[in-house]
Structure 1
Amino acid sequence: MVWDVLNVIGTIAFAISGAIIAIEVKYDIIGTYALGLITAFAGGAVRNLLIGIPITVLWQQTELFIIAIITIAIVFLFPEKVVHRLKELNLFDAIGLSSFAVQGAMYAHSVDLPIIAIMFSAAITGAGGGIIRDVLAQQKPLVFQKEVYLLWAMLAGFIIGMGWATESYQFYTLFVLILILRVMSYQFGWCLPTRTSKSLQGN
């Protein structure tokens, strides 16, 4: 039940996030659908490939595809001001990251993968779609900037990998915790350490 709920939440959130970015960069309706669907499903697809799950599993999620298609259509009809405001809030990206990070970790844990693989599964499921979305939108991937993003997904994987979350209410609590941490890091500008080459600065 938790798996299904998080799957639906993540799919809707990332479909909205991808559609918003597509509209912001002035993609047409086909481009908007492409970016929305890729954001919603690419992370899980990459995870499946890397942990040995057949890629055909992706195409067995008919209900989720329908949900994503309807969601993207609704976003495409939003007024421009609403789309811009939703992008500024960055809330749906945070919801997608949180739900898919927990879901990805649960998936890896259920097939008895080691903790490193569980953390990786959480990270790639939560952030993989967003990385591909940003690349296709010709933007610098948010994940690889100094802003705290991928760390929260890995934290979810660590907690689940350690066996500290096993009950339904614990998974939901973890989802909310990761969501709050991501929103706070965005709102307060929390950053990870970075280095800048002086030689590159001079060019």
Structure 2
Amino acid sequence: MTWDLFNVIGTIAFALSGVIVAMEEDYDIMGIYILGLVTAFGGGAVRNLLIGLPVTALWEQGTLFTIALIVMTFAFITPIWINKWLKWGMFFDAIGLAAFAIQGALFAKGMELPLSAIIVAAVLTGTGGGIIRDILAGRKPLVFRSDIYVLWAILGGLVIGLGIAATTWQLLLLAFAIVTLRMLSVQYRWQLPHRHVKEGNSAIQK
């Protein structure tokens, strides 16, 4: 039941983030639905393909699809929710990141895949939908440019891959840690080292 709750919250959070981007780009209602669904389920679909799960496994999440569609419809007909989403969106997005990253890592772990595959599964499930969303919207993926995001999904995959977290309570603690670290990175604007190449091929480290 705990993971069902995390998955529901994560699905709602990511679906709404897709709706927000679609509205910002002035998409019609079909564009809103497509972008919302891609954000909520795109990462899991890519993960399934890479680790060998049948594509049809995606359609077994009928309840989550229904929840996402209801939430997106409600958001479309009552746009007043946007102000509240902007306030709490980062928090729920962090919960979604934690839930889906851990879920992806557990899928790969259960298939006895190597550590590298477990980490990739965690990253794709936790961040893949957002990356696909931004590409479809013609934007540079924020997960590569803004405050630290992908690193926390990698952390979840690493901890699970090394067997550090296995029991329900350990996984819940891991989820709490990912959410906390993500919110701290937003609050204090933590960033990974990066370089910007200016005209004339002069690289300036930031």
TM-score (norm 2): 0.90
Query: Does 2:134 correspond to 1:129?
Result: no
| 1:37-70 per-position Cα deviation (integer Å, ceiling 9, x unaligned) | 0001110000000011111111121111111111
The offset of 1:200, in angstroms, is 6.1
Summarize the Cα distance change of 1:159–1:190 in structure 2 as closer, same or farther, 3 Å threshold: same
Identity of aligned residues (%): 52
- Which residue of structure 2 aligns with residue 83 of structure 1? 82
The offset of 1:84, in angstroms, is 4.6
Summarize the Cα distance change of 1:177–1:77 in structure 2 as closer, same or farther, 3 Å threshold: farther
Q: Stretches of 4+ moved more than 6 A in 1?
A: none
Cα distance in structure 1, aligned partners of 2:117 and 2:65: 27
* Aligned residue pair count: 201
Whichever residue aligns with residue 86 of structure 2, its letter is K
Summarize the Cα distance change of 1:200–1:84 in structure 2 as closer, same or farther, 3 Å threshold: farther
- Which residue of structure 2 aligns with residue 45 of structure 1? 45
RMSD: 1.9
Cα distance in structure 2, aligned partners of 1:92 and 1:190: 19
Point out where structure 2 has 5 or more consecutive residues left out of the alignment.
Answer: none
Summarize the Cα distance change of 1:122–1:52 in structure 2 as closer, same or farther, 3 Å threshold: same
Q: Which moved more, 1:88-97 or 1:140-149?
A: 88-97
3-state SS of paired residue (1:4): helix
Query: Does 2:89 correspond to 1:96?
Result: no
- Which residue of structure 2 aligns with residue 14 of structure 1? 14
Cα distance in structure 2, aligned partners of 1:189 and 1:15: 24
Q: Which moved more, 1:173-182 or 1:154-163?
A: 173-182
3-state SS of paired residue (2:196): coil
* Counterpart contact for 1:16–1:92, Cα < 8 Å: no
Whichever residue aligns with residue 46 of structure 2, its letter is V
- Which residue of structure 1 aligns with residue 153 of structure 2? 153
The offset of 1:95, in angstroms, is 2.2
Summarize the Cα distance change of 1:142–1:102 in structure 2 as closer, same or farther, 3 Å threshold: same
* Counterpart contact for 1:115–1:161, Cα < 8 Å: yes
The offset of 1:2, in angstroms, is 4.9
* Counterpart contact for 2:98–2:126, Cα < 8 Å: yes
3-state SS of paired residue (1:197): strand
- Which residue of structure 2 aligns with residue 184 of structure 1? 184
Point out where structure 1 has 5 or more consecutive residues left out of the alignment.
Answer: none
The offset of 1:8, in angstroms, is 2.2
Q: Which moved more, 1:108-117 or 1:21-30?
A: 21-30
Summarize the Cα distance change of 1:30–1:184 in structure 2 as closer, same or farther, 3 Å threshold: same
TM-score (norm 1): 0.91
Pairing of 1:99-110 with structure 2 (within 5 A): 99-110=99-110
Cα distance in structure 1, aligned partners of 2:6 and 2:106: 11
3-state SS of paired residue (1:17): helix
Whichever residue aligns with residue 65 of structure 2, its letter is F
Cα distance in structure 1, aligned partners of 2:104 and 2:184: 22
The offset of 1:201, in angstroms, is 8.1
